[in-house]
């Protein structure tokens, strides 16, 4: 992403004499050279950079070219604090969450494939987590009210479950149960829709360390619930909770881990820092972690069709080709 760093490895990467810095470019745009060594260079992408070939100009010689994909803005003026959500038509939904207790005219926007942004849900206090249910409706949590709302295709909201504490991340399992992360340390399970909200069964599914921001939830193909929740630690864990509510650490070693999503092969992707670098971290089922995308201020992601992804920062959504097929909703 613009603002992210790219590491280049090779040989003879410094200009002659060695005291002269090479010039880095991505397409026609100059990049900031953050580090220069004979076998290694690190460049930082400036705003306005688009996908193109990376080259180092050494003065008397020029390096070979390597293709680099750069995310482009798809919607601005937002305030996501978790993953965007995607419906079956490929429309993306994101929030203007606001500070706690802040009322905003439009709480959730829809972003069409042509990047046209339209108001979708109004007057929902502190919209936080988004998820589509098995009925095809969008569900939205309000951390100010401790309530989860169901939203019709026309943007009309109704209470689905309440009393969820500081309700943040939400996710559905294959049986239609809704899971809600209470930022103060509880994961609730809400029974399937069988009548009024007051009749819905709600119980504590698991308890975790309180989060300073939000819980983020996602299921893998086996029905295990994965949870992140940033704390003050720089050595945070991704938790796995089995069907009986037993919690284990799936991976530890991330900084400010936030939004999570799975691909079809069961690989986990997390908006987090890994070894001091912020971006999207890939964690395989064998617990091996690597940075797949570099970028700052990321809070979440959602996989789209044709290998594309929507990336959520603190104030915008970006669009990028990752060649990853996301796990379909249950």
pLDDT tens per residue across span 263-278: 999 999 999 999 999 9
Residue 45 is predicted with a pLDDT of: 96
Contacts of residues 54-58 at CB distance under 8 Å and 24 or more positions apart, as own/partner, are: 54/6, 54/8, 54/24, 54/25, 54/26, 55/24, 55/25, 56/8, 56/13, 56/22, 56/23, 56/24, 57/22, 57/23, 57/24, 57/25, 58/12, 58/13, 58/14, 58/15, 58/16, 58/22
pLDDT tens digits, 140-190 = 999 999 999 999 999 999 999 999 999 999 999 999 999 999 999 999 999
Please report the pLDDT score of residue 18 as a whole number: 57
**Mean pLDDT estimate for the chain:** 94
- All residue ranges of the chain with pLDDT < 70 are 16-19
Name the pTM for this structure: 0.94
What residue spans define the domains of the chain? 5-68, 73-321
User: What confidence score (pLDDT) does residue 172 get?
Assistant: 97
For the structural domain made of 5-68, what CATH number should be given?
A: 2.60.40
Fold of 73-321: Neuraminidase (2.120.10)
């Amino acid at each position: 992403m613009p603002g992210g760093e790219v590491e280049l490895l090779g040989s003879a990467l410094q200009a002659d004499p060695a005291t002269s810095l090479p010039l880095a470019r991505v397409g026609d745009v100059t990049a900031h050279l953050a580090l220069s060594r004979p076998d290694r260079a690190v460049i930082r992408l400036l705003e306005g950079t688009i996908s193109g070939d990376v080259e180092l100009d050494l003065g008397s010689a020029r390096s070979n070219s390597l293709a680099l994909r750069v995310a482009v803005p798809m919607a601005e003026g937002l305030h996501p604090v978790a993953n965007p959500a995607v419906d079956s038509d490929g429309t993306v939904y994101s929030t203007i969450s606001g500070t706690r207790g802040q009322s905003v005219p439009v709480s959730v926007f829809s972003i069409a494939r042509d990047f046209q942004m339209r108001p979708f849900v109004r007057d929902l206090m502190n919209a936080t987590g988004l998820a589509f249910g098995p009925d095809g409706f969008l569900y939205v949590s309000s951390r100010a009210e401790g309530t989860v709302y169901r939203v019709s295709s026309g943007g009309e909201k109704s209470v689905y479950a309440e009393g969820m504490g500081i309700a943040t991340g939400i996710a559905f399992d294959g049986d239609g149960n809704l899971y809600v992360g209470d930022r103060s340390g509880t994961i609730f399970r809400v029974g399937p829709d069988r009548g009024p909200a007051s009749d819905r069964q709600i119980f504590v599914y698991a308890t975790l360390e309180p989060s300073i921001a939000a819980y983020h939830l996602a299921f893998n193909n086996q029905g295990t619930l994965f949870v992140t929740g940033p704390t003050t630690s720089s050595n945070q864990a991704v938790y796995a909770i089995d069907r009986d509510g037993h919690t284990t650490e799936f991976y530890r070693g991330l900084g400010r881990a936030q939004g999570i999503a799975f691909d079809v092969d069961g690989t986990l992707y997390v908006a987090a820092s890994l070894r001091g670098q912020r971006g999207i971290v890939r964690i395989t089922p064998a617990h091996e972690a690597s940075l797949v995308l570099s970028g700052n201020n990321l809070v979440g992601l959602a996989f789209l069709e044709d290998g594309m992804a929507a990336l959520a920062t603190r104030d915008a959504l970006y669009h990028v080709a990752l060649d990853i097929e996301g796990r379909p909703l249950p």
